[in-house]
């Protein structure tokens, strides 16, 4: 019998062998647009929709790949706002889909077809299943390398952190970012953003949302 990806690893190298361990960098706005241009230039419609969803949703990779068409679509149109229940916390998180993301998702879904219960990004091996987190990570590697960035410094969490970091830098509103990321503790948000703990918590105490 052949081996499954769920079989014991044996002598196989660890999935993160040779990778830089630790927090991945958030993308800068110009890098976000560079990746969009790269994907459009290579006509990677699915990847453009996946990238835009990951940026706007700020979801963990395990949740991005499990988004279903019905989570995003209402009345034949992509929603302005969507709600997804997080796998890690079991709690719902709401996010806004900007015009670019709505356009790329609609274009992909029109090509993809399917029903409201289907995954937005199906596995190529089994269309009833979703894209794997491993494949998602590989795609992110391709995207960042494609615009000249070091794959060791970026990953799926870079996409989750990107919009949160931009919002924090623009507003200084830590509690708002905490809600957007679906964190239960504000300390987790502080560590995630990589900001100074004391400064961030002091700022947050005076910030109402």
| Domain presence at residue 186 | yes
Does residue 127 share a domain with residue 82?
Answer: yes
CA angle 181, 186, 189 (to 5 degrees): 50
Does residue 190 share a domain with residue 132?
Answer: no
What's the total number of domains in the chain? Answer: 2
pLDDT per position as a tens digit, 63-80: 999 999 999 999 989 999
Residue where one domain finishes, among candidates 151, 167, 183: 151
| Domain presence at residue 187 | yes
Does residue 166 share a domain with residue 104?
Answer: no
Does residue 175 share a domain with residue 147?
Answer: no
Separation in Å, CA 161 to CA 6, 8, 25, 112, 137: 29, 32, 8, 28, 15
Does residue 53 carry a pLDDT above 60?
yes
Domain that holds residue 78: 29-151
Please report which residue ranges of 58-195 form alpha helices under DSSP H. 61-64, 69-72, 99-112, 133-146, 156-171, 174-181, 186-193
Query: Whole-prediction pTM value?
Result: 0.77
CB 186 within 8 A of CB 201: yes
Does residue 174 share a domain with residue 99?
Answer: no
pLDDT of residue 160: 85
* Sequence-distant (≥ 6) Cβ neighbours of residue 44 within 8 angstroms: none
Closest to 159 measured CA to CA, from 111, 101, 203, 200: 101
Does residue 92 share a domain with residue 43?
Answer: yes
CATH number of residue 141's parent domain: 1.10.443.10
Provide the β-strand partners of residue 73: 78
Here the tokens at position 87 are 């796998």
| Domain presence at residue 19 | no
pLDDT per position as a tens digit, 79-126: 999 999 989 888 888 899 999 999 999 999 999 999 999 999 999 889
| Domain presence at residue 114 | yes
| Domain presence at residue 185 | yes
Residue where one domain finishes, among candidates 131, 151, 171: 151
| Domain presence at residue 18 | no
Residue where one domain finishes, among candidates 105, 126, 151: 151
Q: Of the ranges 3-12, 43-52, 106-115, 136-145, which one carries the lowest mean pLDDT score?
A: 3-12
Does residue 101 share a domain with residue 82?
Answer: yes
Does residue 143 share a domain with residue 78?
Answer: yes
């Amino acid at each position: 019998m052949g081996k499954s990806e769920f079989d014991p690893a044996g002598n196989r190298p660890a999935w993160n062998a040779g990778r830089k361990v630790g927090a991945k960098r958030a993308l800068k706005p110009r890098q976000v647009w560079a990746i969009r241009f790269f994907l459009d230039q290579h006509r990677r419609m699915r990847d453009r929709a996946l990238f835009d969803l990951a940026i706007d949703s700020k979801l963990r990779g395990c949740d991005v790949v499990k988004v279903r068409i019905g989570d995003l679509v209402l009345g034949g149109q992509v929603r302005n706002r969507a709600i997804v229940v997080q796998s890690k916390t079991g709690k719902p998180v709401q996010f806004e889909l900007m015009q670019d993301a709505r356009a790329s998702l609609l274009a992909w879904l029109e090509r993809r077809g399917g029903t409201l219960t289907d995954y937005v990004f199906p596995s190529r091996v089994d269309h009833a299943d979703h894209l794997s987190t491993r494949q998602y990570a590989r795609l992110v590697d391709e995207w960042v390398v494609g615009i000249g960035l070091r794959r060791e410094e970026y990953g799926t969490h870079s996409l989750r952190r990107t919009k949160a970091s931009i919002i924090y830098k623009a507003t200084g509103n830590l509690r708002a970012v905490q809600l957007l990321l679906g964190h239960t503790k504000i300390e987790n948000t502080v560590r995630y953003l990589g900001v100074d703990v004391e400064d961030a918590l002091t700022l947050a105490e005076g910030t109402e949302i």
